[in-house]
A and B are shown apart, each in its own frame.
Chain A
Amino acid sequence: MTSTRSLFLRSVQLIAALVFLSAAVGKLMAIEEFRNVLHWYVPFVPRWNSISVVPTASIVFFETSIGFLLLFGAAYRATARAAIAFLILATVVIARALFAGDPPACGCSGFLSILGNAFETVPIAIARNIILVAGLTIVARQPPTAPAENVKSVTAT
């Protein structure tokens, strides 16, 4: 039972890590495209000048840091909380853009978009974020023992 739960928690972390790192790499590979669509989602970001590189770099910083922290299971509760906060903020921003009009693909899926264009659509991104928030909430509510360590101890026995 414990091993199943630990495996589940670790899987959630790894899937979330994949999503975060994929999004960061995707943006690095298509910075100009992302900067061009950013103002659709965050209207106060100017579309026409180099200031938009600052929010782009900030987003990539958070995605990369959280992605690696999730991947290595380091500070997993704090990381999960940070990831939840980031995902909720991103979901609100994306949902606002969806209600305001018909926004272009947000580039939120990074290289996962090679799995299909559906991964680039805004409603799918919102659904994915909600599922991730649910999974990460369970991770964040764990007692202070790293799920990765649980998995190792279970595997050893």
Chain B
Amino acid sequence: MAKPTTVFLCIAAGFLAAGAVMYLAVWRRPPNPVDVAFQQSRPLVKQLAMRPLTSRDDVTTSLEKMEVIDVTRRAISPSTLDALKDTLANAISLYMIQEEPDGYIQWRRANGYEFESREEVDTLTPWKVDDTFMFLSTRTDEIAMNVTAESSVEALYCEFWRARRLVDGGRNVATAIAADASGVRSEIRMVVNDSVWSDFGDEGEGRLKWFGGNALANRKWFAHPIEEQLLGQDVLIAAETGVFFEFADGVRRPLIFLSLFDEASGRWFIRRVGMTNRPSTYMSWPWEL
């Protein structure tokens, strides 16, 4: 074979391989299992009773209807359950209804939380702050890049708070909340660490409805000394509470709150918020915790 022909054929093979990449990645892309599960769950989700989410009362009314599954074998007391509902009601109403972050930050601080350091915020999630901000800024022109390398963590937090309300047509702004036990459910159990939320929901339709095909966790901004101590315990009481919301883009999907109970103080600490049963294109964070 003549050398120029060999060179030409080798380069042609390269183009062929690149073409194969384009074909496989763009035109023959298999359906995403996350999207398949999301679509399959729509008939189940459509049946949920919802109420508009405009005040804290809407949240407490829904939480009162919550289905509670207590598998701790020690029977969670009514006051402990009330404390859980109160914590969740505060978090949901301040985070989902308020347009500015001040009330949420004040509530966190009043409960003994402080902002993590910038390094910790980056360490606590594989999604770096800078990368995320770049990503968010590609989703809407309304996000002002008012942050610099010297910005405080609180200033960054406020930017993220506003950004998540603006991106993707309000996909993170809840407009309604489930009105009965079919859309509000809590499983309380003894756990050995905080990695329990992927077990949420029964097998079959329950799991399809609550979990779908994938989950995305919050970004963590606040730290509390008791919360860190709890993670050092051998066994914890943890509550996974799933709440269905309807968001401003018209999609109904749940958030699953993982809360840890401190028996000494009788307080619940929200450790994680997961966005489950979501379309694969929903890449923004469910919660700036």
Contact = CB atoms under 8 A, between A and B. Distances in A.
B20 interface: yes
Contacts of A74: 3, 6-7, 10
A140 interface: no
A64 interface: yes
Interface stretch (A8-16, A43-51, A107-115, A126-134): A43-51
A50 B11 CA distance: 25
Nearest to B139: A48
- Chain B contact residues: over half helix, strand or loop, or mixed? helix
B21 A72 contact: no
Interface range, A side: 20 to 34
Contact of A61 (B7, B9, B14): B14
Contact of B3 (A47, A66, A75): A75
A7 B11 CA distance: 25
Nearest to B32: A32
Interface stretch (A52-60, A88-96, A116-124): A52-60
B17 A64 contact: yes
A65 interface: yes
A61 B131 contact: no
Nearest to B22: A57
A74 to B, nearest CB: 4
A95 B220 CA distance: 29
Interface of B: 1, 3, 6-7, 9-11, 13-22, 24-26, 29, 131, 135, 138, 283
Given A64-B13, A75-B7, 15 more contacts: A24-B17, A28-B21, A28-B24, A31-B24, A50-B26, A53-B21, A53-B22, A56-B21, A56-B25, A62-B14, A63-B17, A69-B6, A69-B7, A74-B3, A74-B6
